[in-house]
Amino acid sequence: MVELGALIFDFDGTIADSEPYHLAAFQRTFSAELGLELTEAQYRDRYLAYDDRMMMRTFLDDRDVALSPDRFGRLLDVKEAHYKDLAQDPPILPGVADLIRAASARWPLAVASGALEAEIRPVLAGAELLEYFETIVSAEMVERGKPHPESFLTALERLNGGRADAILPAACLVLEDSVAGVGAGRAAGMRVLAVTTSFPRDQLGEADRVVDSLEEIAGADALVAWFSSLSGSW
């Protein structure tokens, strides 16, 4: 039986209700700078799990738009500025704060996100949650974003730094809201709990469990019992 050893949280759409602000920032950027439209459905179905660089590159490739490196870099800067203007204080999703506080008393916690560190830390600090995380892995810290497992594996590597007994991937629980994020967690060899804040339940079937809100995770003891029941059921 594999015992739960660590929790690794996605950020946008899992901890903070910030995805609408990212969408609005991309929409403003593409419309004003390039005269291109991005719909909510397109963003959700195609781009939501990507970090800014990969999202923008994929969006432009889909529309056969080629930009110089300098122009591409400017678009990233414009999008980040729009996001900061829009997302002054994105709300923490229901059940998240209670889960983080309860879980941190028993396991090490990490964030592995496609957001920028400058977008993550102020929100966690404002919600008085930053202190509960041992490490944060953000978009600029990895070469390959989700659905590649690099961010989750990097988070685990950092959690294991200095530990005599290393935590194995199979002992990690990933908390995610996106299809690509669920796939990244599974590719990392970790268990995945998905929340339906961004995708419907039927699209998150690769996860070990799907909930509509993290309020459904009643407490640490229930989490231990559920995780233990998963052993061997890959």
Q: What is the pLDDT of residues 206-222, one digit of tens each?
A: 999 999 999 998 678 88
Q: Which residue has the tokens 């593409």?
A: 30
Task: Examine the pLDDT at 75 and tell me if it is beyond 90.
Answer: yes
Q: Going by C-beta distance under 8 Å and a sequence separation of 6 or more, which residues neighbour residue 192? A: 173, 174, 175, 176, 182, 185, 186, 206, 207, 208, 209
**Tokens 């204080």 sit at which residue?**
89
Give 6-17+90-228's CATH code, choosing from 2.60.120.10, 3.40.50.300, 3.40.50.1000, 1.10.760.10.
Answer: 3.40.50.1000
Which residues of the chain form CATH 3.40.50.1000?
6-17+90-228
Go through 182-209 and write b for each residue having 16 or more CB atoms within 10 A of its CB, e for each that does not: bbbbbbbbbbbbbbbbbbeeebbeebbb
- What does 42-55 look like in DSSP terms, one character per residue? HIIIIITTS-HHHH
Using alpha carbons only, what angle is made at residue 168 by residues 162 and 173, rounded to the nearest 5 degrees? 110
Residues 163-207 have pLDDT tens digits of 889 999 999 999 999 999 999 999 999 999 999 999 999 999 999
Is pLDDT above 70 for 156? yes
**pLDDT tens-digit profile of 101-124?**
999 999 999 999 999 998 999 999
State residue 233's pLDDT score: 58
Are 112 and 231 in contact by the 8 Å Cβ rule? The answer is: no
Residue 150 is predicted with a pLDDT of: 97
Mean pLDDT of all residues in 30-55? 92
Mean pLDDT of 74-95: 92
Q: Which part of the chain has CATH 1.10.150?
A: 19-86
| CATH code of the region 19-86 | 1.10.150
Q: Does residue 36 register a pLDDT over 60?
A: yes
pLDDT number for residue 234: 56
Residue-level pLDDT at 33: 96
Averaged pLDDT score across all residues of the chain: 93
**pLDDT value, residue 130:** 97
Residue 14, pLDDT above cutoff 60:
yes
Mean pLDDT to the nearest integer, 28-53: 93
For residue 162, pLDDT beyond 90? no
